[in-house]
Amino acid sequence: MEAQRPRMSEISILLLFAAAFGASALGGVLGMASGIFIVPILTLFFGLDIRIAIAASIVSVIACSCASAAPFLKAGLTNIRLAIVLETATAMGALTGVFFIGLIPESYLYGLFAVILAVSARQMLARRREKTITSEPDPRSWAALLRLHSDFPDKTPGRSLAYQVGHVPLGLILMYGAGLLSALLGIGSGVLKIPAMDAALRLPIKVSSATSNFMIGVTASASAVAYFISGDIDVDIAAPVALGSVLGAFAGARLLLRIPAERLRLFFVLVLSLLAIQMLMSSVGIELPGGLS
Amino acid sequence: MKNNADIRQRRDRMIAGLLRWGTWFASMLIAMGMLIGVAGYWDDAPGYGKQVAVAGIAVFILLPVMRVGLMLVMFLRERDYAYAVISSSVLAIILASSLIGLWWN
């Protein structure tokens, strides 16, 4: 039926756009990347192949990182030196990921995704605590040698709060893992970045959010170039998802003050847990009945 | 002589500008591509919208790479060679990844 094709296609483009917009806007309210929702949405509800979903998701991860970086930079919260140091590790992780992804069976990808969703749900339930360093800086630590200690603007204008950067080698190891997961699953890897930033590097939360958001663009690019060149990125899927994510990220930043974050946090824990179960079922071959396409 | 805070603010603003305009440019390309693509079902322009959208996606993917390139230039101009080497190694890793992409192809 020649006449029906455009309508179907328009509807699926609109649905993809709306799904990405919603995931990104809600994710933005809690300061989390939407990437972790995109792949389950595309595979479970749109019935897409997980590899196509991963490639489309990685583009939206880059788009969101670029779209939300400017305000953080202007506020003086992003530590760009620390970002580029850690990017050597995340990019290496991503390189490892693109090297091995072709060898990994799809059921393993679903299974790994289920684990990451479950750990994310658990992480979201726990509160993040700031563990900044207050002792005298050690002049022979990596952070001192790389001149990573910095400061960020205080609430009172014109004043700034100095902070120290903690255990850089441990941070690099965790970031390597984050880059690997990002390339394999098409996500921003908050799961590993949050412990790396909080527990190993001991950054103030504002600096941590700004810097990890800044970094993920490069991390995701390191795998996206390979996906793009090899032709794995399906533009019909990736285009509406990327555009929806960017606009959703802007909307989420505006919504930030209007939605009670506590209730949303519990809602997300629930959604992440349900998606984890669904992805686990997909990994053992049980399909969700009635996919949209 | 400018102080360090001024240099840092200027640097942060330049990077912010690149990412903001790049995001706009890429988003516009993708939106235009999608619109042309939808219109293309009635018109006789198959594939043209798709190419525009692909260009937008390519701009998004290259934007963080350009950001690292910009940082490399900045570090070189500040004669901060340690960080110039660190930035170059990130670019080298991304180049290696694109070679893997070619090899798959």
Per-residue pLDDT tens listing for chain B (105 residues): 457 778 888 999 999 999 999 999 999 999 999 888 777 655 555 678 889 999 999 999 999 999 999 999 999 999 999 999 999 999 999 999 999 999 887
Residues A145-185: tens digit of each pLDDT:
888 888 888 777 777 888 889 899 999 999 999 999 999 99
CB contact under 8 A, B60 and A74: no
Give residue A8's pLDDT.
45
Give residue A56's pLDDT.
95
What value does the mean pLDDT take over residues A118-125? 89
A91 contact residues in B (CB cutoff 8 A): 90, 93-94, 97
Closest Cβ–Cβ partner in B26, B63, B104 for A230: B104
Number of domains chain B is built from = 1
A97: nearest CA partner in chain B? B97
Give residue A7's pLDDT.
44
How many inter-chain contacts (A to B, CB under 8 Å) are there?
161
Mean pLDDT of chain A: 86
Q: Write out the residue range of the structural domain in which residue B28 sits.
A: 4-104
Closest Cβ–Cβ partner in B61, B65, B87 for A59: B61
ipTM of the complex: 0.92
Is B4 near chain A, with CB under 8 Å? Answer: no
Is B30 near chain A, with CB under 8 Å? Answer: yes
String of DSSP letters for B35-99: HHHHHTTTTT-TTHHHHHHHHHHHHHHHHHHHHHHHHHHHHHHTT-HHHHHHHHHHHHHHHHHHH
CB contact under 8 A, A229 and B53: no
Give residue A2's pLDDT.
40
Give residue A256's pLDDT.
63
CB contact under 8 A, B102 and A230: yes
Helices (H), A75-160: 80-100, 106-125, 142-145
- Nearest CA distance, B57 vs chain A (angstrom): 7
Give residue A5's pLDDT.
41
Nearest to A148 by CA among A164, A167, A171, A130: A164
Residues A255-273: tens digit of each pLDDT:
765 666 677 788 888 989 9
Distance between CA atoms of residues A286 and A140, nearest Å: 54
Give residue A13's pLDDT.
86
CB contact under 8 A, A65 and B64: yes
Give residue A159's pLDDT.
79
Q: Look up tokens 């399909």; give the residue.
A: A287
Q: Which of residues 31-90 of B touch A (CB under 8 A)?
A: 31, 33-34, 38, 41-42, 50, 53-54, 56-58, 60-65, 67-68, 71, 82-83, 86-87, 89-90
Give residue A253's pLDDT.
76
The predicted model scores a pTM of 0.90
What value does the mean pLDDT take over residues A102-129? 90
String of DSSP letters for A268-287: HHHHHHHHHHHHHHHHTTPP
CB contact under 8 A, A218 and B68: yes
Distances (CA, A) of B99 to A169, A201, A228, A274, B93: 28, 32, 11, 38, 10
B98 contact residues in A (CB cutoff 8 A): 225-226, 229
* Residue type (1 letter), A101: I
Q: Look up tokens 């989420």; give the residue.
A: A252
Instruction: Give the percent of chain A with pLDDT over 90.
Output: 51
- Nearest CA distance, B62 vs chain A (angstrom): 7
DSSP state of A288: P
Residues A125-149: tens digit of each pLDDT:
887 777 777 777 788 888 888 888 8
Give residue A190's pLDDT.
82
Give residue B2's pLDDT.
53
What value does the mean pLDDT take over residues A95-112? 93
What value does the mean pLDDT take over residues A46-54? 92
What value does the mean pLDDT take over residues A106-119? 94
- Nearest CA distance, B98 vs chain A (angstrom): 5
Distances (CA, A) of B77 to B7, B69, B81: 12, 13, 9
Which of A96-100, A215-219, B29-33, B36-40 has the weakest average pLDDT? Answer: B36-40
Instruction: Give the percent of chain A with pLDDT over 70.
Output: 91
B54 contact residues in A (CB cutoff 8 A): 235
B93 contact residues in A (CB cutoff 8 A): 88, 91-92, 94-95, 222
Higher pLDDT, A286 or A148: A148
Which of A201-205, A247-251, A283-287 has the weakest average pLDDT? Answer: A283-287
A153: nearest CA partner in chain B? B5
pLDDT of A17 above 80: yes
